[in-house]
Amino acid sequence: MAERVLEAVEVKKSYRVDERRVTVLDTVSLAVNKGEFIVIEGKSGSGKSTLLGLLSGLDKPDNGRIILGGTDITELSEDQLAPFRNRMIGYVFQSFHLVPSLTALENIKFPAELNHDPAAPDKAAELLRRVDLQERRNNFPHQLSGGEKQRVALCRALVNNPQIVFADEPTGNLDSASGDTILQLLLELRREFDTTLVMATHSREIGAKADRIIRLADGRIMNEYNKPES
């Protein structure tokens, strides 16, 4: 039986807009098994990014539970949740979210240093080599192209060898060639690190590469299907 690494149980999320309360996610339940590549697909405004934020512990649901690695993270305080996230997950943002005052190498090793990992510099250097950016190790984010920034962000997400990596439209701010490179690297590194990947995207082309697609519309799961056997 497949090992389950992530589960959402009847998750709801809404936000107040002026005098109204707008429901973004409405009773969403899903499960992810170890090693899967899951795509959460839907148009802008369907709730993809909100769901990814809840699944990864970056935000909390109004109702429902998120169980990550056997731990109900909705029960954790922020002081408990921050180190748990750092150990368990990696996150790749559409807009990179690199620290401007840190070099490429420093950005990558930072999460490992938070874990007091003495091997942080060596792990970061090896990841930079793996994505062919070793010559950019001392460059700051403003000195990097969009594709280079996202390669650094991929390395940062993987430096703690997380159980699960979340990626929110990781190619959305890139030209098509850079986007293809990032996607290929992400899929290769996922296999090399034997990690689970959950990606939000509106791209049908990316969805075609996934093990399973979960399609959202108006904050609800409309359908879910596995990749056809080749």
Q: What structural domains and CATH numbers belong to the chain?
A: 35-56+77-226 (3.40.50.300)
Residue 213 — pLDDT band, cuts 50, 70, 90? very high
Q: Over 80: is that where the pLDDT of 1 sits? A: no
CA distance 85 to 178: 28
Which two three-digit tokens encode residue 120? 């942080």
* Band of pLDDT at residue 228, cut at 50, 70 and 90: low
Average pLDDT over residues 85-112: 96
pLDDT in tens, 47-75: 999 999 999 999 999 999 999 999 999 99
Is the model's pTM score more than 0.75?
yes
* pLDDT for position 117: 95
- Please, are residues 183 and 170 in contact by the beta-carbon 8 Å criterion? yes
Query: Is pLDDT above 90 for 230?
Result: no
Confidence band, pLDDT 50/70/90 cuts, at residue 207: confident
Q: Chain centroid to CA 123: how far?
A: 20
Higher pLDDT, 172 or 68: 68
For the chain, give the percent of residues with pLDDT over 70. 98
Share of the chain above pLDDT 90, in %: 82
* Cα–Cα distance, 225 to 31 (Å, whole number): 13
Query: For residue 119, is pLDDT > 80?
Result: yes
What pLDDT shows up at residue 229?
A: 54
Q: Would the pLDDT of 141 be above 80? A: yes
CB 38 within 8 A of CB 166: no
